[in-house]
Amino acid sequence: MRVIEQINASLHGFMAGDAGAHVIGEDILDPYGGAFKATKGLSTAFPDRVLTSPISEAAIVGVATGMALKGKPVCVEIMFGDFITLCTDQLINHMSKLPWVYDEQIAVPVVVRAPMGGKRGYGATHSQSLEKHFCGVPGLTVVAVSQFSDIERIYADAFAAKTPHLIIENKLSYARRIEARDIAPHADPDLVLVTYGGSTEVCVEAAARLADEEELRANVIEVTTLSPFDRADLAQRIGDCPAVLSVEEGADGWGFGAEVARVLVDMPARVFATVTGPAHPIPSSKSWETALLPNGDRVVGAAIDLLLGRRQ
């Protein structure tokens, strides 16, 4: 099963499991089924509860919040994750705060899905990874998935939680087959690659190259819940490994790498480095975009540099 097929199956399960559940988004009705086909078949199976919307992300998430306050669980599709900025107020100041403001006497069961990431040549406003701007918001859970994640469980947990969730889906991962395998097989690795979402695939490929070309043992640690960030869990997964490389598509600074570094502060001495996206907008050239974002060559090179620095 491919990632997009599992997401689609999870959405069907969400709708079938609750007669009050709704899905809202732009162009999500059959036969189109959404820009990436995640909602394929939903409007045919549940014609009264799959709602196509105008082009206004603020309105979509605002309506979803209101419906959720009336006891109707909602899953929102943002066509491209870049447009998540248009509903920042609804995510940060409304749905995430309302349960606390009303002393947990109300629930806001909204799950917002957002396709993120680059390497498809979509350019400055359609290839970004903006999830870090929504991490650290009290009351909002931010999750990222890849083909190596337990996608069925992650979606089931998000829908069952009845709390605001933002789920980051990497666009390249949609076509990948789900791979239920251990990506951290070494008991005593030379280094760990800590990552999430679409960069997980890059790190898995880099780890294989490091083994074949350099005889280095690299474990990949995929973090699925970005916020709240479970630092204790990550510290346990890193263990005694002396070298840690953080990999993310987002721009450098105030992001995933900074959270990984916070974990290492409380641990015995480690060498640490990051691989990130560029410190400028993503260009409208697919080859240039691919070269700027984390890729196998960049991750392998950074890992070798990190270990050479440790050995000197």
**139 and 242 both lie in a single domain:** no
**25 and 98 both lie in a single domain:** yes
Statement: the pTM of the whole predicted model exceeds 0.85: yes
The domain boundary residue, chosen from 116, 140, 175: 175
- Average the pLDDT over 65-77 and give the result: 97
Confidence of residue 312 (pLDDT cuts 50, 70, 90): very low
Is residue 5 scored above 80 in pLDDT?
yes
**154 and 204 both lie in a single domain:** no
> Which residue has tokens 């701007």?
133
**279 and 150 both lie in a single domain:** no
Res 289: pLDDT? 93
**163 and 208 both lie in a single domain:** no
Domain that holds residue 245: 191-311
**148 and 284 both lie in a single domain:** no
pLDDT mean across residues, the chain: 96
**203 and 132 both lie in a single domain:** no
Q: How far is CA 11 from CA 112, 158, 206, 234, in A?
A: 12, 11, 33, 29
Q: What is the CATH number of the domain that holds 303?
A: 3.40.50.920
Give the count of beta carbons closer than 10 Å to the beta carbon of residue 177: 10
Structural domain total, the chain: 2
In a domain, 180, yes or no: no
In a domain, 29, yes or no: yes
Q: What is the CATH number of the domain that holds 112?
A: 3.40.50.970
Name the packing angle between helices 199-214 and 296-311 (round to 10°).
60
**150 and 76 both lie in a single domain:** yes
Question: What does the buried/exposed string (b/e) look like for 9-24 if buried means 16 or more CB atoms within 10 Å of the residue's CB?
Answer: ebbbebbeeeeebbbb
**122 and 221 both lie in a single domain:** no
Name, in order, each residue with C-beta under 8 angstroms of 287's C-beta and a sequence gap of 6 or more.
none
Percent of the chain at pLDDT exceeding 70: 99
Coil, strand, or helix at residue 299? helix
In a domain, 182, yes or no: no
**160 and 135 both lie in a single domain:** yes
Question: Tens digits of per-residue pLDDT, 223-277?
Answer: 999 999 999 999 999 999 999 999 999 999 999 999 999 999 989 889 999 999 9
On whether the CB atoms of residues 177 and 1 are closer than 8 A, the answer is yes
Question: Tens digits of per-residue pLDDT, 19-48?
Answer: 999 999 999 999 999 999 999 999 999 999
